[in-house]
Structure 1
Amino acid sequence: MRHLKNTLHRPTLRPQLSRFRLERWHRFWVYGTFGGLVLTGALWLVAHYFLRSAGEFGEAVNPLEPWSMKLHGAAAMVALFFIGSLLNSHIRRAHSARRNRASGWVMVALLALLTLSGYALYYIASESSRPLWSAGHWILGLVFPALLVLHITLGRRAAG
């Protein structure tokens, strides 16, 4: 009986490739949430820079701008939850197995910078520094989808 008990908890020497791939429901929510973030951020960019119209007292804010920002903020809260869910189920295991580390750490750094700049826009930025924080945030946000696709592609290529 003791032998059986020890074999149940012994870690395998070679990690299974499927251990790093997210389950279907998890992929759905992670990709959907990040897609929602990118879409609402892009919608804000378009509304802010291209859809403003002349009003009675100067340039008027397009009605899509505040709504896209509210949806973007809501998606960011959901994204923080799913980033946390990736820490144990994906990041920790892949890191300890030395799989796709470079693009993985770049993803972690980019997500941290996006979180920091989003927080700064909401709580720290003054009217004079807001354009700089904003530009940094949306530039990183536009880089994110390409990096996510690269990370997934590299991971799948390494798997087989």
Structure 2
Amino acid sequence: MSNLHSHQPRWTFRISRQRLWALYAAFTLLLLTGLTWLLVRFLAAEPETLAPWQAWSMKLHGAAALIVMFLLGMIWSAHIRHAWIRRHNRLAGGLFGAVIVLLVASGYGLYYFNGEGLRSLTEWLHWLCGVAIGGLFWVHLAAGRRSVAGRK
């Protein structure tokens, strides 16, 4: 009986160092710009004086989001698809991916949805998922490393 994994090298799921650092940088920029926007919105005593910070953080946040989506597309077949098919790190990766989908959908909604209720709900969903994604990323990374260590 042949082993499904026997013809695949162990490093199939690994992301190149350059792409990994690009993902780290883009996700960091995304998180920092989102947190900057939230801090200015909720903690500023005089929001009108900090409005330029809020506007620039939003512009950088949108650019970083496009870069992250591009990079995630780049690693789709080499990392995400292959790991999913081989049932590696599915729980952490699936949760991470689901929150990414919610972030993309709610980001779209923030740009296009009208109506106070729907807009407010979309904002809160985006903020909660945005804050949660940092922790989910580290959970996914740690689970993947434990899985690799366990197979050696």
Fold-level similarity (TM above 0.5): yes
Please give the alpha-carbon distance, in whole angstroms, between the structure 2 residues aligned to 1:25 and 1:132. Answer: 37
> How many residues of Structure 1 are paired with residues of Structure 2 in the alignment?
145
Please give the alpha-carbon distance, in whole angstroms, between the structure 2 residues aligned to 1:108 and 1:67. Answer: 27
Note the alpha carbon deviations across 1:17-69, whole angstroms, 9 max, x for none.
3221211001011111111110100000001111241xxxxx63622111100
Aligned CA distance change for structure 1 residues 127 and 61 (closer, same or farther; 3 Å): farther
Note the alpha carbon deviations across 1:101-151, whole angstroms, 9 max, x for none.
111111111100000000000012434432221111011000000000000
Whether 2:41 is the aligned partner of 1:33: answer no
Amino acid at match of 2:17: R
Give the aligned CA root-mean-square deviation in angstroms: 1.7
Give the drift of 1:14.
5.7
**Do the aligned residues in 2 keep the contact of 1:36 with 1:72 (CA within 8 Å)?**
yes
**Do the aligned residues in 2 keep the contact of 1:15 with 1:97 (CA within 8 Å)?**
no
Give the equivalent residue in structure 2 for 1:130: 119
Larger radius of gyration: 1
Give the equivalent residue in structure 2 for 1:60: 48
Please give the alpha-carbon distance, in whole angstroms, between the structure 1 residues aligned to 2:85 and 2:148. Answer: 16
**Do the aligned residues in 2 keep the contact of 1:47 with 1:65 (CA within 8 Å)?**
yes
Aligned CA distance change for structure 1 residues 132 and 19 (closer, same or farther; 3 Å): same
**Which of 14, 19, 23 pairs up with 2:16?**
23
Moved more, 122-131 or 97-106: 122-131
Give the equivalent residue in structure 2 for 1:139: 128
Whether 2:43 is the aligned partner of 1:50: answer yes
Please give the alpha-carbon distance, in whole angstroms, between the structure 2 residues aligned to 1:22 and 1:44. Answer: 31
**Do the aligned residues in 2 keep the contact of 1:40 with 1:72 (CA within 8 Å)?**
yes
Please give the alpha-carbon distance, in whole angstroms, between the structure 2 residues aligned to 1:61 and 1:111. Answer: 32
Q: TM-score, normalized by length of structure 1?
A: 0.84
Aligned CA distance change for structure 1 residues 125 and 107 (closer, same or farther; 3 Å): farther
Aligned CA distance change for structure 1 residues 98 and 12 (closer, same or farther; 3 Å): closer
Q: Does the residue aligned with 2:24 lie in a helix, a strand or coil?
A: helix
Whether 2:100 is the aligned partner of 1:111: answer yes
Please give the alpha-carbon distance, in whole angstroms, between the structure 2 residues aligned to 1:144 and 1:69. Answer: 18
Aligned CA distance change for structure 1 residues 13 and 35 (closer, same or farther; 3 Å): same
Q: Does the residue aligned with 2:115 lie in a helix, a strand or coil?
A: coil
